[in-house]
């Protein structure tokens, strides 16, 4: 008989503990579901209440901790991630499916994020204000909010929580962190890095489990002052409707991101942008390219080159060098993508891909060949709804005005890109596209650690941005002091 899988614990009040009810769940390898990556705690309301209570009790001492000491903890945690990046990357590939190279990049980027906020957080302060009283000084100071809940997705299970947790901690907040149940081990490694770096008891509390079991406690508790959430728009809306009036929200939600290909574009570059943006991480990125809007005069040649490129992509385990696409992350995601592929066959013309792969070496994994649909109408469901898989819908445009109108014809506004050589079109696109992240001759995916990230419309709460210096502002409140003599 095979050995039981390794069991991983919650981290509450500085201790690694089992769930109070003693329940667990298993995380499976999406490349081969016969392999259990690990066994995790199926936490319940009591565990969530303990995590919130621990964070609340630790807050006053943590906010009083010198910022230099907080910064050193982030720096040391970054070093821990860098030291163990190779091993952690393999774990991430086994639990989520992305290539081991991308997984290692994610851990290294997360370390970079911790280092960025360790430095940038020490520069965030208030202001002094001119006024007429010579015996009075008026100034503002930034203060932490208190207990912050961080809820992270499975597609970037280290880098997304890192860009939430690091600014929260450096500004003096305490954190309750719930990773996705579909990729909990990588989130645990981030928590482990911070604990190993010397984070005091209760400052960071890590719990795993179903959102339905722990979510209501960690979002609606009166002790929770802010929630940073990345996930589906539906889930974000559900949280938004239930929280207290004074709970601050930061939400990064769905996307239906367009790439416009102009008639003067370098078509090989445009194809490269579409493939990298649409099929990196098997299309499971909130900023992934899901719509390609091509001017009529170059559409035939563009789609020919796109199909040629897509049919050459290599599909397989992320642990195998040279693979372009791995499996979908979960059985649920596989079911969703297959349903949209069926819808797409009714709505448009399938040019390539779109098949469930069941022969070896795919027989025990969640594999789908990357799909390109042509003759897609703007009202088609595959052109309007977030699929979160390796599916690209190609739409035709008569000119720039038609292309920008079709690009903006969506309830989402996360990321958008254009391929063109025309400086005037670049200028107009930057002003006219309805998206929070705008790319010119670059993929819709990816953002810098030191630049703000976020969307508009139903891609975000449109309140506070993540990443960069702007990412610090969400976790602080301003107090204005009038000091007279």
The span from the CA of 136 to the CA of 130, in Å, is 10
Nearest to 388 by CA among 272, 287, 243: 287
Annotation marks residue 35 as catalytic: no
The span from the CA of 324 to the CA of 439, in Å, is 23
Strand 437-440 to 415-419 pairing: parallel
Catalytic annotation, pick one of 95, 106, 252, 466: 252
The span from the CA of 395 to the CA of 379, in Å, is 11
Residues 6+ apart with CB under 8 A from 135: 484, 485
Give the burial string for 52-76 (b: 16+ CB within 10 Å, else e).
bbbbbebbeebbeeeeeebbebbbb
Give, in order, the Cα–Cα distances in Å from 234 to each of 158, 217, 221, 339, 483: 23, 19, 21, 19, 47
SS3 231: coil
Annotation marks residue 252 as catalytic: yes
Catalytic annotation, pick one of 192, 286, 352, 396: 286
The span from the CA of 351 to the CA of 346, in Å, is 13
Q: Are 367 and 327 in contact (CB under 8 A)?
A: yes
Helix (H) or strand (E) run with residue 261 in it: strand 257-261
Q: 117 preceded by cis ω (within 30°)?
A: no
Question: What DSSP state is assigned to residue 283?
Answer: G
Q: Are 147 and 174 in contact (CB under 8 A)?
A: yes
> Active-site positions?
252, 286
């Amino acid at each position: 008989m095979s050995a039981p899988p390794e069991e991983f614990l919650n981290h509450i009040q500085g201790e690694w503990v089992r769930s109070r009810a003693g329940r667990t769940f298993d995380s499976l390898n999406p490349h081969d579901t016969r392999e259990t990556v690990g066994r995790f705690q199926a936490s319940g309301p009591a565990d969530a209440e303990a995590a919130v209570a621990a964070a609340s009790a630790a807050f006053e001492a943590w906010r009083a901790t010198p910022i230099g000491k907080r910064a050193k903890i982030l720096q040391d945690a970054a070093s821990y991630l860098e030291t163990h990046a190779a091993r952690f990357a393999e774990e991430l590939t086994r639990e989520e499916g992305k290539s081991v190279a991308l997984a290692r990049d994610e851990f290294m980027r997360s370390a970079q994020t911790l280092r960025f906020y360790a430095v940038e957080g020490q520069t965030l302060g208030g202001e002094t204000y001119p006024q007429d009283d010579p015996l009075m000084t008026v100034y503002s100071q930034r203060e932490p909010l208190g207990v912050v809940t961080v809820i992270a997705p499975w597609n970037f299970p280290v880098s997304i929580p890192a860009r939430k947790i690091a600014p929260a901690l450096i500004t003096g907040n305490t954190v309750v962190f719930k990773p996705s149940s579909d990729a909990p081990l990588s989130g645990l490694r981030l928590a482990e890095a911070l604990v190993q770096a010397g984070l005091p008891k209760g400052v960071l509390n890590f719990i795993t489990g179903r959102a339905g079991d722990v979510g209501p406690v960690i979002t609606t508790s009166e002790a929770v002052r802010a929630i940073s959430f990345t996930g589906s728009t539906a889930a974000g809306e559900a949280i938004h409707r239930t929280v207290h009036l004074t709970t601050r929200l930061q939400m990064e939600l769905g996307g239906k991101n367009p790439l416009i290909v102009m008639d003067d574009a370098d078509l090989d570059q445009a194809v490269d942008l579409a493939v990298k943006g649409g099929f990196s991480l098997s299309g499971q990125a909130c900023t992934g390219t899901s719509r390609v809007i091509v001017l009529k005069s170059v559409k035939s040649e563009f789609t020919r080159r796109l199909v040629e490129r897509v049919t050459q992509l290599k599909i397989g385990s992320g642990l195998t060098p040279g693979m372009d696409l791995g499996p979908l992350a979960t059985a649920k995601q596989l079911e969703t993508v297959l349903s949209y592929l069926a819808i797409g066959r009714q709505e448009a013309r399938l040019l390539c891909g779109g098949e469930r792969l069941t022969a070896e070496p795919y027989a025990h994994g969640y594999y789908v060949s990357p799909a390109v649909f042509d003759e897609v109408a703007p009202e088609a469901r595959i052109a309007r709804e977030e699929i979160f898989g390796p599916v690209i819908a190609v739409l035709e445009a008569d000119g720039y005005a038609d292309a920008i109108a079709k690009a903006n014809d969506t309830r989402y506004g996360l990321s958008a890109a254009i391929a063109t050589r025309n400086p005037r079109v670049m200028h107009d696109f930057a002003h006219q596209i309805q998206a929070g992240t705008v790319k010119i001759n670059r993929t819709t995916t990816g953002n810098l650690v030191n630049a703000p990230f976020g969307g508009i419309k139903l891609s975000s709460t449109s309140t506070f941005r993540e990443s960069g210096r702007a990412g610090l502002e969400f976790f602080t409140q301003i107090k204005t002091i009038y000091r007279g003599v």
